Amino acid sequence: ENGGFPAAPVTVLQALQTLDYDVLVELSTLSIEKRGEPAIAHVRAALECGHHVVTANKGPAAFAYRELAALARKNGVRFLFESAVMDGAPVFSLKQALAGCRVTSISGILNTTTNFVISRLELGANMDSAIKTAQELGFAEADPSLDLEGWDAAAKIAILANVFLDADIDPLQVERRGIGDLAAEDASGVMAAGRRLKLICRAELENGKVRAQVGLEEVQMDHYFAAVSGKGAALRLETDMMGPLWIIQEEPGLSDTAAGVLQDLITVAAER
C-alpha cells in the first residue's frame, strides 16, 4: 500500500482545507466510472475554503457544475475550466461576451481522437491501425475507450449544455453512440458518396428541457464540419439574436491545453 513510500502526513483533502494557497490547479484525468471523483471533492474543498480553482479535468463541470459554480459565487472566488473543452480555445470566455444573447443550441466535433481515427478509416486503415497511429503521435490514450465509446465527447457536451443552456445534466444523461463498431468500408463508402462521417455532439432546448446527444452523422462536403479533419475540432453556437458562431481548431496539442490553464490563472490574477 502507498507504493512503499511513508504515509503522507495529511490527506489531499486535509491539505486543501488547511494549507495556505491562492489557487488550486486541478489537472487529474476524467473518471466516468467514479462520476468525476475525486476531482469534484478536491474542487469543492478548495471552494469551500475560499480558494480559486482552475481545472482542465472535465469531471467537475460535467458532473457538478451547478453546485460548484454556486459555491464559487457564494465565496467570492472563481471556478474556471477553459481547457476542459477544445483545450485552450476561448470557449467559456464567450459566455461573458454573449451576455446580451441567449444560446439556443450547440453542436460540434469535440473529440480529436475519434475525428482522427475516422479520417484514417476513410483512407482505408482499419480501426486497430488508426488507433495505434494516434497513440504513436501522442494524443490518444493507452486505453482509448473513453474516446471511442463517446464518453469524452459526452462529458464535453454536458459541460457546454450546463454553461450555455443552463442545464443540469451529466454525461450519463447524454444519448451516446461511439465509433467502436465503425469499419473502414463504412467510412470510405460514405466518403465515396460525397459525404463524411463525423462524431457530432449536440445540445438544444426541447419543450423546456435540454436534450444532449453524441453520435455518428453523415455531413455534406460543403458543411463546415466536413472540413474538420485529423486532430481538428469545431464548435457551433446558435443564439436568439446573432447568426451562428463558430470556433474552428486545427491540430491542438498539449501546449493548447496549457494555454487554457494559463488563461484561467491570468483571469484569477487580474481580479486580485
The predicted model gives 3-31 an average pLDDT of 87
Question: Within 137-230, where are the H helices?
Answer: 145-148, 151-164, 184-192
User: pLDDT (tens digit, 9 = 90+) per residue, 137-158?
Assistant: 988 888 899 999 999 999 999 9
116: which 3 cell numbers?
482522427
As a whole number of angstroms, the distance between CA 256 and CA 254 comes to: 5
Q: What pLDDT is stored for residue 33 in this prediction? A: 95
DSSP conformation letters of 202-225: EEEEETTEEEEEEEEEEEETTSGG
What pLDDT band is residue 254 in, cutting at 50, 70 and 90?
confident
- In the set 58, 156, 198, 231, the catalytic residue is 156
User: pLDDT (tens digit, 9 = 90+) per residue, 95-142?
Assistant: 989 989 999 999 999 999 999 999 999 999 999 999 999 999 988 888
User: pLDDT (tens digit, 9 = 90+) per residue, 33-64?
Assistant: 999 999 999 999 999 999 999 999 999 999 99
pLDDT higher than 50, residue 1? no
Q: 58 catalytic, yes or no?
A: no
**Amino acid residing at 218:** E
Any idea what DSSP says for residue 183? -
H or E element, residue 74? helix 59-74
What pLDDT band is residue 5 in, cutting at 50, 70 and 90?
low
What pLDDT band is residue 3 in, cutting at 50, 70 and 90?
low
As a whole number of angstroms, the distance between CA 192 and CA 194 comes to: 5
pTM above 0.85, yes or no: yes
Domains of the chain: residue spans and CATH: 2-86+255-270 (3.40.50.720), 95-251 (3.30.360.10)
As a whole number of angstroms, the distance between CA 59 and CA 13 comes to: 17
pLDDT higher than 90, residue 264? yes
DSSP conformation letters of 39-73: HHHHHHHHHHTT-EEEE--SHHHHHHHHHHHHHHH
Q: Residues 235-250, buried b or exposed e (16+ Cβ, 10 A)?
A: bbbbbeeeeeeebbbe
- Alpha-carbon torsion, ordered 248, 250, 255, 258, to 10 deg: 20
Q: Which of 86, 105, 127, 81 is nearest to 245 (CA)?
A: 105
User: pLDDT (tens digit, 9 = 90+) per residue, 197-247?
Assistant: 999 999 998 888 999 999 999 999 999 999 998 999 999 999 999 989 999
As a three-state string, the secondary structure of 22-35 is: CEEEECCCCCCCCC
